[in-house]
Amino acid sequence: MPKPMMILIAGPYASGTNGDAELMQQNLTRLEEAAWPIFKAGHVPMIGEWVALPILSSAGASGPSDPRASEVMYPTAHRLLQHCDAVLRLPGESKGADQDVVIARERGIPVYSSLTEVPGVE
């Protein structure tokens, strides 16, 4: 198997939730469902919220709807993209995920639109 890739899983998190924590958790769960097939294929799955949410909490923010979130959420994904080898863009409207795709393409990082496109995923 070739070198494992770190793959950023991008898709809706806060988009369309109007700040509803339960809906954001449902979106995060949907993103996380892609993690196992990526891992099983020998890669390292990454979701920006896995990193951003603890940072936001340690900054004393009340959560993703806190005004400080704009200083953490998108910037975290942008920094992660400096270390990622690919992006999996899941369906759904998401400004942040769309930005991730633009950045990935600017950097020449592959963008997959379904799990079946990820090398090694059955």
Phi-psi region at 18: left, alpha or beta (left = phi > 0; alpha = psi -120 to 50): left
How many other C-beta atoms are found inside a 10 Å radius of the C-beta of residue 6? 15
What predicted TM-score, i.e. pTM, was given to this entire model? 0.94
User: Per residue in 87-104, pLDDT tens?
Assistant: 999 999 999 999 999 999
Domain extent listing, the chain: 6-113
**CB contact at 8 A, 104 and 50:** no
User: Per residue in 21-35, pLDDT tens?
Assistant: 999 999 999 999 999
User: Per residue in 53-73, pLDDT tens?
Assistant: 999 999 999 888 889 998 999
Per DSSP, what are the bridge partners of residue 90?
none
The domain defined by 6-113 folds into Rossmann fold (3.40.50)
Which pLDDT does position 111 carry in this prediction? 98
Q: For the purposes of burial, counting CB atoms within 10 Å of the CB of 47, is it exposed (0-12), middle (13-18) or buried (19 or more)?
A: buried
